[in-house]
Structure 1
Amino acid sequence: MSDNDGPRKTGRIMWLLAWVLVLVLMTWFFQQKLEQDYNPNQQVQLLDNHTIVLEQNRQGHYLLSGTINGEPVVFLLDTGATQVALSRPVADRLALPLGRPLLLNTAAGQVTGYRTHIKTLSMGPLTLYDLDAVVMPGRNSEVLLGMNALRQFELIQRGSQLTIKYLAP
Structure 2
Amino acid sequence: MDTNSWMNLAYLVLLLVAVGGWMLVQNRDRLGKMAQQAAVWVLIFVGVIAGIGLWDDVRRTVTPTQSVVQGGSIAVPRAPDGHYYLTAEVNGTPIRFMVDTGASDIVLTQKDAAHVGLDLDELVYNRRALSANGEVGIAPVILDAVALGPVQGNNVRAVVNGGEMRQSLLGMRYLQQFSKIEIGDGALLLTP
* TM-score relative to the length of structure 2: 0.62
Greater Rg over alpha carbons, structure: 2
**What are the superposed Cα offsets for residues 115-135 of structure 1, whole Å, 9 maximum, x if unpaired?**
111121122333233211111
Equivalent residue for 2:128, pick from 98, 103, 108: 103
Structure 1 position 64 matched with structure 2 position 53: no
Structure 1 position 148 matched with structure 2 position 186: no
Contact 2:183 2:189 in 1 (8 A): yes
More helix, by proportion: 2
**What are the superposed Cα offsets for residues 42-96 of structure 1, whole Å, 9 maximum, x if unpaired?**
5x232213x2112111111111122111101112110001110011111112112
Q: Percent identical across equivalent pairs?
A: 25
SS in 2 for 1:120: strand
Moved more, 97-106 or 80-89: 97-106
Equivalent residue for 2:137, pick from 112, 121, 127: 112
Q: Which structure 1 residue ranges, 5 or more long, are not aligned?
A: 1-18
Runs of 4+ in structure 1 deviating by more than 6 angstroms, as ranges, are: none
Structure 1 position 161 matched with structure 2 position 187: yes
- Which of the pair has the greater relative contact order for Cα pairs under 8 Å at 6+ separation? 1
More strand, by proportion: 1
What is aligned with 1:40? 64
What is aligned with 2:115? 93
* TM-score relative to the length of structure 1: 0.69
